[in-house]
Amino acid sequence: MDRIVTCRRGIARWKKSSDLNSHMRIVRLQATYEKEIAKLFPSRLVMLCLKQQLAEAYREEEQFWRQKCREEWLREGDRNTKYFHNVVKGRKVKNIILMLLDEWGNEHFSEGSKGEIAVDYFRDLFMSSNPFDMEELFLNFPNRITREMNESLTASVSVEEVKDAEMSVNGGSAPGEDGLTRSFYHRYWHIVGSTITKEVLQFFQSAVIPEVWNHTQISLIPKVTSPVRMQDMRPISLCGVQYKVISKILCNRLKRFLPEVFLENQVAFVSGRLISDNIIIAHEMVHSLRTNERVPENFMAIKTDMSKAYDRVEWCFLETLLEKFGFDRVWVRWIMACVSSVSYSVLLNGGSHGFIKPERGLRQGDPLSPFLFILCVEALVNCLNNSAVAGKLHGTQIGSEGPLIHHLLFADVSLLLCKANTEEATEIISCLKRYGDYFGQQINLAKSSIIFGSKVEEAVKAEVKVTLGIDSEGGDGSYLGFPECFSGSKRQLLSFLREKLQGRLNGCGSNRKKIAWVAWQKLCRTKELGGLGFKDLEKFNQTLLVKQAAIIVNKPDSLLAQVLKQRYFKNNSFLDCGLGSRPSFAWRSILHGRELLQQGMMTRIGNGADSKVWWDRWILDGAPRVPEYRQGSEVNLSLTVRDLIDQQSERASPPSTPIHPVERQLWKSLWKIKTTPKLRHFLWRSVFGALAVKERLRSRGIHLDTTCSSCNMATEDIGHVIFHFSFAKEVWALSSVPMPSSAVWSHSIFLNLHHLVACSKKRELDPEAGQIFPWILWHIWKARNSFCFENVRLDPAVIMDKAKMEAEIWRNLQSPTQATTASSATNQECPRVVWSRPPRNWVKCNLASSWVDRSSHSGRAWVVRDKEGSVKCHNRGSFPRSDTTLLADLEALQWSVEAMMSLKIDKRLTYSSGYASSRQDYQCLNYFLDWRLEHMEAEGNNVARLIADSVTTDQRLLSYVASGGPSSLQNLIEYEADVLPH
């Protein structure tokens, strides 16, 4: 941990001494750019480089705010900085805690007082109740962990297992106390990996975690608007990456065996099980309380919710439970070391408060906690099972042969089913009390409810409510986020889903009516067919229901399949059954999914012995087949496919999608055009007529004159604005984009775009001529808007210059952007960029400049090395500080070229990590017969960079030229020469 602290301090010093604040860089570069424009003869090269640096600074600023806002659905790249910044500000306002009430109701506003209230609250919450004599709860508790399981759980941890665990930690999750996310460890695993691996393996040998690893900060997330009580906030533990690696290793080992440990009543965090199974079973049980012949008179369902379930887990109870399960003592020691070595501080409004050493509780934010919690819930299951065996509880059963169900579980939410009388209500309370006393749990009565059978008498209901201490009568509430009962109007019941979706589509904070430019059905087409790839919600919902129907077909022994079979297809198969009498909404929905499932099902013909010719679906093409009747012939209804097989038959291919090949090719090409996503979307809108020109507004019912405001002659449609208007024609004439063969633009936007896309694929064309057209179209459209809304006419030459400059900047920024995106998206280790050798008979000149805002000097250095990596000569220069890093790079390049000319060094590769060296055609370089100018990452330019940095960091202001390399860097020079292959 000391090394991590030292590293963070070093990073902080480096950040302060370097030009890394993107916002300040934007301000400074904008000022420099405006100063350059104001010159009588501005340099286009300098302006372009400044634009490139501005674009890079904007991109870094956008990435910074996106990371802080943690909006995963929206990616950076189109100047979404303002949106990300507003999200961060909105979350900060929402999460800030202005006032807290103490336990006596007094108001506290100072940060210190609020911090004390939070610390005292968690100190009391994490104080153990010291349970004892827990054997009653574990009576008849099953030992489900086998010897083979224990051997696998306690096997030696490998180096690969540690690395896999580190890779599985979410890179964007909030950091622990050290302030470093998993992305840092992942990026520099080649440096820190061996140390972390050694320390992790040490834990699995000693079962001891360093306390500093397990110190956790509790972040408070408001559950309500303007929280004033600690109960109004949800605590999330920010665990460190080192601890999460250990926790992930334990999780990865444990979760493999959970399906064998838990019965089907538990679906939470068990691989291969769906939460929807319990939702449907619960729905059927509640439905049976109203419709089943025997159930409504005698039964009830109790929904319970545990208060602060994770925070109240008693450690002694957890340890006893693990031993009762049959876990090896080594495994138990590992688990208890992770749980009991924790300590806390509370984060409140960005400040850290207090130090808490807990006596109980599991952390919300620890990957291990959910698995440990569902193991603990098995103690309640065992208690309920013992009561059922003793005849004190009677679960609900659908049909005489259906499974008996008295509980359904999902983590801390339970649905308990029993007879509606005070005796069984008393037994339920007794089980919950024993479980709560030993486990530390408390029922949240405010969130608990009872659903009675429709024919239970009111007097019985009143007695049961008093016995349970639950006043709320359910049916209209929710279970696992879904309505408990789907009676009445489904449109009204599920209106909240429509409202949420509509609110998302309308945009944040906007209730204004929108114009639908393109039909939803067209938007739901794939991009290859001209749409945007949106999901057709009705078909998507049916597809999800297919998955549920397939489970019933493929897993007929599952709890869900057994319940539904006894209710709806007891004497039939699922694929052939009907709707049944008084079906539930869930069953109707599953049958809707079955329709699509059957369309996609086919009988795989092996030898054909089990496939009936006249009854089974065994012909692939789907055409209706009517058997030909012959007089006097007999029809064998038991005829099988095997009786018909003579030779292997051919199968017809399914029909293709009816779309013109030219149109399909255009849509495929449009989304691959080398431009920004915003401009690709703009091109799509242009083709679909989804731009607010007068002609399109008129077609949407807005009464206005459709004459073009600029020319006052033609109708203002999209083609007129971007192709046919005189202003647009001038812009296209100034560009190098080839015109169509007819020498005039077509009145079809589709054909014009098809021509432009075809030009972009022609290799004989200059890249600018083929790929600049999206920027030209965009700036023509923006110029039209400037005239319509601001009455500003722009010069076509200015529009063309803007399009060229933005296109060039975008192309120059693509390499680093794509590398960054690929690194974050694939989570694969980035290769290190190191010095590489020049070709034979060539030398390499590495160039670097050092620029620090607060220094009066800037440093420059070049280093000439041969194919063997030996330094032939090097130069260090100290000069008055340049205005910007851009100018420092430009001046350093010119300085190095002049030095090479004086030394007559030819056949030279010049490598720089600055932006100014990005393949610009400097006239002075024509002096050399053979030369190349390349850009490289800073990691491959270490020697020159360190020499240049010595001017600004160490104040070594002496300039010199020397043969060989500096003695202080000899080890680095030899290392780079030795490790790389020839």
Q: What is the pLDDT of residue 33?
A: 80
pLDDT of 646 above 70? no
pLDDT of 663 above 80? no
Cβ–Cβ < 8 Å for 695, 716? yes
- Please tell me the distance from the alpha carbon of residue 775 to that of residue 682, in angstroms, as a whole number: 10
Q: What is the largest CA-CA distance in the chain?
A: 115
Residue 756: helix, strand or coil by DSSP?
A: helix
Which residue in this structure is represented by tokens 């006052």? 712
Cβ–Cβ < 8 Å for 215, 221? no
User: Parallel, antiparallel, or unpaired for β 482-483 and 478-479?
Assistant: antiparallel
- Please tell me the distance from the alpha carbon of residue 899 to that of residue 491, in angstroms, as a whole number: 79
Cβ–Cβ < 8 Å for 152, 331? no
User: Parallel, antiparallel, or unpaired for β 343-348 and 215-222?
Assistant: parallel
Tokens representing residue 677 in the block: 């996503």
pLDDT of 672 above 50? yes
Q: What is the pLDDT of residue 647?
A: 44
Half-sphere exposure of 215 (CA within 13 A, CB side): 15
Residue 345: helix, strand or coil by DSSP?
A: strand
pLDDT band at 455 (very low <50, low <70, confident <90, very high): confident
Q: What is the pLDDT of residue 821?
A: 37
Q: What is the pLDDT of residue 254?
A: 92
> How far is the CA of 971 from the CAs of 854, 967, 968, 975, in angstroms?
31, 8, 8, 6
Please give the sequence-ordered ranges of beta strands (E in DSSP) within 277-433, or none if there are none. 299-307, 343-348, 351-356, 396-397, 404-405, 407-410, 413-419
Percent pLDDT > 90 in the chain is: 21
346-395 confidence digits (pLDDT tens): 998 888 999 999 999 999 888 999 899 888 888 888 999 999 999 999 88
Report for 92-96, 469-473, 510-514: range of highest mean pLDDT: 469-473
* CB within 8 Å of 903: residues ≥ 6 apart: 873
Q: How many CB atoms lie within 10 A of CB 968?
A: 10
Burial of 319 (0-12, 13-18, 19+ CB in 10 A): middle
pLDDT of 797 above 80? yes
Least confident of 716-730, 821-835, 959-973: 821-835
pLDDT of 628 above 60? no
User: Parallel, antiparallel, or unpaired for β 857-865 and 871-880?
Assistant: antiparallel
pLDDT band at 131 (very low <50, low <70, confident <90, very high): confident
Q: What is the pLDDT of residue 919?
A: 41
Cβ–Cβ < 8 Å for 726, 711? yes
951 vs 480 pLDDT, higher one: 951
Give the full edge-to-edge strand order of the sheet including 843-850: 931-935, 908-912, 843-850, 857-865, 871-880, 960-963
Q: How many CB atoms lie within 10 A of CB 685?
A: 16
pLDDT band at 608 (very low <50, low <70, confident <90, very high): confident
> How far is the CA of 658 from the CAs of 134, 539, 596, 655, in angstroms?
70, 20, 22, 9
Q: What is the pLDDT of residue 611?
A: 76
Q: What is the mean pLDDT of residues 89-103?
A: 81
Q: What is the pLDDT of residue 863?
A: 92
> How far is the CA of 701 from the CAs of 516, 519, 672, 696, 712, in angstroms?
12, 16, 35, 9, 22
CA 18 and chain centroid, separation: 32
- Please tell me the distance from the alpha carbon of residue 441 to that of residue 769, in angstroms, as a whole number: 71
- Please tell me the distance from the alpha carbon of residue 8 to that of residue 442, in angstroms, as a whole number: 42
Domain boundaries, the chain: 2-95, 132-145+263-313+366-499, 519-549+571-621, 661-814, 843-979
Q: Which amino acid is at 947?
A: I
262-271 confidence digits (pLDDT tens): 877 777 778 7
Q: What is the pLDDT of residue 802?
A: 87
Cβ–Cβ < 8 Å for 291, 572? no
Least confident of 305-314, 608-617, 845-854: 608-617
158-177 confidence digits (pLDDT tens): 999 998 888 888 766 667 67
Q: What is the mean pLDDT of residues 847-868?
A: 83
100 vs 652 pLDDT, higher one: 100
DSSP string, 908-936: EEEEESSGGGSS---GGGGGSSSEEEEE-
- Please tell me the distance from the alpha carbon of residue 233 to that of residue 228, in angstroms, as a whole number: 9
- Please tell me the distance from the alpha carbon of residue 736 to that of residue 739, in angstroms, as a whole number: 9
Tokens representing residue 653 in the block: 């291919």
- What is the architecture, at CATH level 2, of domain 843-979? 2-Layer Sandwich (3.30)
Crossing angle of helices 537-554 and 559-568, in 10° steps, is 90
Q: What is the DSSP letter of 223?
A: S
H-helix segments, 601-741: 661-670, 677-688, 694-699, 718-719, 726-734
**Residue 546: phi, psi to the nearest 5?**
-60, -40
876-898 confidence digits (pLDDT tens): 988 887 777 777 888 888 888 88
Q: What is the pLDDT of residue 58?
A: 77
Q: What is the mean pLDDT of residues 436-451?
A: 82
Q: What is the pLDDT of residue 1?
A: 62
pLDDT of 624 above 60? no
Cβ burial 891-921 (10 Å sphere, 16+ → b, else e):
bbbebbbebbeeeebeebbbbbbbbbbbeee
Which residue in this structure is represented by tokens 């025997």? 294
CA 536 and chain centroid, separation: 22
- Please tell me the distance from the alpha carbon of residue 63 to that of residue 970, in angstroms, as a whole number: 38
Q: What is the pLDDT of residue 248?
A: 92
Report for 335-344, 437-446, 452-461: range of highest mean pLDDT: 335-344
pLDDT band at 830 (very low <50, low <70, confident <90, very high): very low
Average pLDDT, the chain: 80
Angle in degrees, CA 840, 846, 852, rounded to 5: 175
- Please tell me the distance from the alpha carbon of residue 976 to that of residue 833, in angstroms, as a whole number: 11
Report for 185-189, 484-488, 796-800, 917-921: range of highest mean pLDDT: 796-800
12-68 confidence digits (pLDDT tens): 777 777 667 777 888 888 888 888 878 777 777 777 778 778 877 877 777 777 666
Q: What is the mean pLDDT of residues 289-307?
A: 81
Closest by Cα among 506, 493, 442 to 231: 442
183-198 confidence digits (pLDDT tens): 788 888 888 888 889 9
Q: What is the pLDDT of residue 319?
A: 93
Q: What is the pLDDT of residue 415?
A: 87
Q: What is the pLDDT of residue 902?
A: 80
Q: What is the pLDDT of residue 13?
A: 77
pLDDT of 329 above 90? yes
pLDDT of 532 above 90? no
Residue 620: helix, strand or coil by DSSP?
A: coil
* CB within 8 Å of 874: residues ≥ 6 apart: 861, 862, 863, 864, 943, 944, 947, 961, 962, 964, 965, 966
Q: What is the DSSP letter of 939?
A: G
912-957 confidence digits (pLDDT tens): 665 444 444 344 555 454 666 776 766 678 888 888 888 887 778 8
User: How many residues make up the chain in this entry?
Assistant: 982
